[in-house]
Amino acid sequence: MLVLKMVADNGQEIGMFSWFAIHPVSMNKTNRLVSSDNIGYAAYLFEQEKNEGYLPGKGPYVAAFAASNLGDVSPNTKGPHCINTGEPCENMGSYCPVGGPIVAHLSGLATIQLGTGDRWRQERGWGYAHSDHMSSADHASAAAQ
């Protein structure tokens, strides 16, 4: 994890960028909601913590979680399941005995029904981890030109 902490001349924290190796999409194809998915929600939560009393996107502090060397790192860690039975797929081809491949969906941090759920706990965890890194970050300064 790489975190860039931004501090104003007066010492006030004004933002951070974090590069973390995880694929930014954790909602599966059953999601019908407009969403910034996992890294967008992590940034939202982090900004809400730092911008207490401000509406989302209106505070002075800006947080961004960017993709890094993610490769094929998927947050869908629970593997393919059959949405009609709830059982794991029988083979690596993601094929369900009843319904075939069309009812096979990957799952992980998000629940299948709403595309939410445990995912939010993950982003809160990222936010708290980044808070810890931010408070212990060494200060390096350079003059802006």
Our answer to whether residue 36 is catalytic in this structure is no
- Determine if residue 23 is labeled as part of a ligand binding site: yes
Element (H, E) at 122: helix 118-135
Is residue 76 within 8 Å of 89, Cβ to Cβ?
no
- Strand 13-20 with 62-67, pairing: parallel
Task: Choose, from 35, 68, 74, 131, the residue flagged as catalytic.
Answer: 74
- 104, burial (CB in 10 Å: exposed 0-12, middle 13-18, buried 19+): buried
Residues, the chain: 145
Q: Which of 81, 127, 85 is nearest to 108 (CA)?
A: 81
Q: List residues forming the annotated binding site for Zn(2+).
A: 23
Q: List residues forming the annotated binding site.
A: 23
Catalytic residues: 74
